[in-house]
């Protein structure tokens, strides 16, 4: 890249020297791009910047906040960039929605490859941020996250087939199935009635056949949300090699102190 204009959102940042930061930018043009720029660029706000460099770590310059509604660009100097971060670090995303937005950012910067264009996923991410700026119920918030996770899985090549087991046999409503991310759904010996409650272990998650049929038929809805949440969490943990998510830990701590 040589002074190439990029539009995107910051997923993650960490200090780099006294007045600069290492940024993970989810760009519309090239997917996740790593770069170094002046400290203070805000999260969850559309940015325009220029990237230069042939190696993995680019140099970011002329960082600007882009107004999507008015199609205007506001240039931030080194001083007012930090001031902007302090005044509107999460734009209009507030309360519990901040933790949800941090979660989306974390799974993206930890799971996406670098400089692999994903314009469809980028648009879904932008749409999800717009949803998080609105007042959502607890279920609406969870639906927003599960729907985005599904788009992410599709982009990563995980097509969740819930109508057949790993041997291509049709899911039976009275059976119990174990889900293994790299294998699929494995039928167990016991029926659903004989295996209450369902016990989950590392690397495996159990589902009743009737629940899988409902999930496949209805998709992600209020009625199926709990089971989709269980399935998605297991797959996310698998993709992260069961390493903890910091955003999830922050969310749990916040819930304990409420």
pLDDT tens digits along 59-89: 999 999 986 533 344 444 445 444 444 444 4
pLDDT of residue 96: 85
Mean pLDDT of 218-243: 95
Nearest CA among 103, 114, 63 for reference residue 85: 63
CA distance 33 to 14: 14
CA distance 144 to 220: 10
Mean pLDDT of 178-188: 91
120, 154 contact by CB (below 8 A): no
CA distance 5 to 138: 38
Q: Is the pLDDT of residue 222 over 60?
A: yes
pLDDT tens digits along 141-167: 999 999 999 999 999 998 888 999 999
Query: Measured at the alpha carbon of residue 38, what is the angle toward residues 36 and 39, in degrees to the nearest 5?
Result: 105
């Amino acid at each position: 890249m040589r002074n190439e204009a990029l539009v995107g959102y910051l997923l993650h940042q960490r200090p780099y020297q006294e007045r600069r930061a290492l940024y993970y930018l989810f760009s519309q043009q090239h997917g996740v791009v790593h770069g170094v720029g002046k400290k203070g660029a805000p999260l969850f706000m559309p940015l325009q910047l220029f990237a230069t460099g042939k190696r993995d770590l680019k140099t970011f310059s002329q960082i600007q906040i882009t107004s999507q509604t008015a199609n205007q660009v506001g240039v931030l100097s080194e001083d007012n960039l930090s001031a902007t971060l302090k005044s509107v670090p999460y734009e209009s995303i507030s309360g519990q929605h901040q933790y949800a937005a941090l979660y989306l950012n974390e799974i993206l910067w930890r799971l996406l490859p670098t400089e692999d264009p994903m314009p469809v996923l980028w648009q879904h991410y932008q749409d999800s941020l717009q949803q998080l700026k609105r007042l959502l119920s607890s279920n609406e918030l969870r639906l927003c996250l599960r729907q985005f996770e599904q788009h992410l899985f599709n982009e990563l090549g995980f097509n969740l087939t819930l109508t057949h087991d790993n041997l291509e046999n049709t899911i039976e409503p009275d059976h119990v199935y174990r889900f293994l991310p790299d294998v699929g759904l494995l039928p167990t010996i016991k029926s659903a009635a004989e295996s209450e409650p369902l016990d989950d272990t590392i690397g495996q998650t159990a589902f009743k056949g009737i629940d899988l049929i409902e999930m496949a038929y209805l998709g992600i809805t209020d009625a199926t949300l709990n089971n989709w949440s269980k399935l998605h969490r297991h797959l996310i943990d698998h993709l992260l090699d069961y390493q903890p998510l910091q955003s999830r830990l922050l969310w749990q701590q916040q819930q304990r102190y409420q």
